[in-house]
Amino acid sequence: MKRPWVLFFVLGFFVSPLLAAEPVVLSGRAMGTTWTVKFIQPASPLNPVTLHARISEKLEQLEQQFSTYRPASELSRFNATRRTEWITVSPEIVRVAAAAQALSWRSEGAFDVTVAPLVQLWGFGTQRRASPPSAQEITFAQALVDWRRLEARQSPPALRKTRPDLSVDFSSIAKGFAVDEIGERLRALGVDECWVQIGGDIKTVGARGWRAGIAWPGAPRTQSPATLQVFELIGRALSTSGDANNFFQYEGRRYGHIIDPRTGEPVRGEVAAVSVLDESCAASSARATALFVLGAEQGFTFAVRERIAALFIVRTGEKFTLKPTPEWPQGPASGGR
């Protein structure tokens, strides 16, 4: 399903020149990608150097909890154990696991954080590969995937696997969760207006309108991408899942990094990308992945039923068309390319 902490194809931003206060800009690297924070100084100004250090410290803490690349991380240690009793974990991991399980149930397994064996098998984990695995390898790895075998307990915080070889990959939700956490930390420090971005996951805080733009899939990163829609992001989160950047090709076929846990293979279909708006960035990130896996028809039906603000970018031959749900904001761009 997802992926070694990657930025998809999307998301730039523009700050309205009509707003007088200029934001302070901080940036760095974490979770295998870049992060950016823009904020308006509160009445009692914050020291940018000190704030940068605090943000970096928080992101490092989250990596120590959620990383599947660090053998000593909390999640890696949970994956390595073969115990099936309750294992004490941090409250953050339980919150993410509980949110993931709820979406797995609602999506009937299209979203599944126990997809880790398939992510590794297809070369989108700690090891890369240049050719697809065999059908036998896929069948074996898929047998290890089942979200219903993972349980989360709030108090005291703990996880339990009901089969010893279960392993978990929270990459499809953890970056969004990290964005939410940084936003909350900034609010606690008195920041009323800010933009927080980690990779392709964004959240804004406050009443200020931050203009967000979504680019056409595959637009070159070295150039300003052609923007298909621009709208104001006010106190909401925006995430996109797509297959434009992280993939390999073999014998003329493209294999993207988002794995369908129901088939054991990378998602194949006409959806090039899905963008989702939500109050929570963890929710927008996870929902974007679930909708991408579900596809143009089933995913759209699910999004409408769940009242999700989503934009499907559908590939038809060499062209793209846009398919927004009723909750998606109207923008200046529509139609195909």
DSSP 171-186: HHHHHHHHHHHHHHHH
Amino acid identity, residue 73?
S
CATH number for the region 85-171 comes to 1.10.3980.10
pLDDT at residue 48 tops 70: yes
Place of tokens 């090039």: 272
Please, what is the average pLDDT of the chain? 89
Q: Are the beta carbons of 62 and 174 closer than 8 angstroms?
A: yes
Among 119-123, 125-129, 261-265, 283-287, which is the least confidently predicted range? 125-129
d(CA 326, CA 277) in angstroms, rounded, equals 12
Sequence length of the chain is 337
pLDDT at residue 2 tops 90: no
59: which DSSP letter?
H
To the question of domain 12-62+177-324 being in CATH 3.20.20.140, the answer is no
CA nearest 201: which of 237, 245, 242, 244? 237
Confirm whether pTM is higher than 0.85: yes
Residue 216's region, left for phi above 0, alpha for psi from -120 to 50, else beta, is beta
267 CB-near residues (< 8 Å, 6+ apart): 243, 256, 258, 259, 260, 292, 293, 295
d(CA 7, CA 330) in angstroms, rounded, equals 25
How distant, in Å, are the alpha carbons of 69, 80, 222 from that of 125? 8, 15, 26
pLDDT by residue (tens digit) across 16-47? 333 447 899 999 999 989 999 999 999 999 99
pLDDT by residue (tens digit) across 244-296? 778 888 888 888 899 999 999 999 889 999 999 999 999 999 999 999 999 99
d(CA 96, CA 150) in angstroms, rounded, equals 12
3-state percent helix, strand, coil for the chain, nearest multiple of 5: 30, 25, 40
Residue range(s) of every CATH 3.10.520.10 domain in the chain: 12-62+177-324
pLDDT by residue (tens digit) across 313-335? 998 877 888 999 999 987 544 33
Q: What percent of the chain has pLDDT over 90?
A: 74
Residue range(s) of every CATH 1.10.3980.10 domain in the chain: 85-171
